[in-house]
């Protein structure tokens, strides 16, 4: 089977990930609470910002590509719309790989449950928005 991927959708899904993160972790939204929970001050955050942003772009691009790939496979297998395949795939990928792994790591690291919930829900919103972009710009 030849998997078809819309590269514009992958790039825009990557951008959407960055936008969701910028809004989610903005100080008036969850940023202040997040900073307190992870014990980062503004100076320390600014010091590592460039590296963190570079890593985030690469990881978001990988996530968008994998989601586009899996969405096409799901769409080809099930009798559903491409948008439905994208959103359903995004949800199951989030639940099985992202949420489950984050919760496991946070439990062993004894992280604050509020931080775990904040980050896990952020990832759900992020991947669902990526799914919307990929579903909307089907190959």
* pLDDT digit string, tens, across residues 39-66: 988 898 889 889 999 999 999 999 999 9
**Cα separation of 104 and 134, whole Å?**
28
Residue 2: inside a domain, yes or no?
A: no
Res 45: pLDDT: 86
Tally the domains of the chain.
1
Res 64: pLDDT: 98
pLDDT at residue 1 above 90?
no
**Cα separation of 119 and 50, whole Å?**
20
Considering the entire predicted model, what is its pTM? 0.94
Identify the DSSP state of 98.
Answer: I
Residue 1: inside a domain, yes or no?
A: no
Res 106: pLDDT: 97
Instruction: Work out the angle between the directed axes of helices 113-136 and 82-93 (0-180°, nearest 10).
Output: 160
Categorize the per-residue pLDDT at 38 as very low, low, confident or very high, splitting at 50, 70 and 90. very high
| pLDDT above 70 coverage of the chain, percent | 100
Range of the domain at 58: 7-136
Res 81: pLDDT: 97
Contact 87, 132 (CB under 8 A): yes
Q: What is the 3-state secondary structure (H, E, C) of 63-79?
A: HHHHHHHHHHHHHHHCC
Res 42: pLDDT: 87
pLDDT at residue 11 above 90?
yes
| pLDDT above 90 coverage of the chain, percent | 92
pLDDT at residue 89 above 90?
yes
């Amino acid at each position: 089977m030849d998997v078809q991927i819309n590269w514009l959708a992958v790039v825009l899904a990557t951008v959407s990930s960055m936008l969701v993160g910028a809004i989610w972790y903005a100080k008036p939204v969850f940023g202040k609470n997040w900073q307190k929970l992870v014990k980062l001050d503004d100076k320390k955050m600014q010091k590592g910002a460039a590296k963190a942003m570079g890593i985030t772009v690469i990881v978001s691009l990988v996530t968008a590509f994998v989601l586009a790939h899996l969405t096409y496979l799901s769409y080809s297998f099930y009798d559903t719309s491409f948008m439905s395949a994208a959103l359903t795939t995004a949800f199951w990928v989030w639940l099985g790989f992202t949420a489950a792994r984050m919760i496991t790591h946070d439990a062993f690291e004894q992280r604050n449950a509020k931080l775990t919930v904040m980050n896990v829900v952020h990832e759900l919103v992020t991947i669902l928005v990526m799914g919307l972009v990929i579903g909307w710009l089907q190959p």
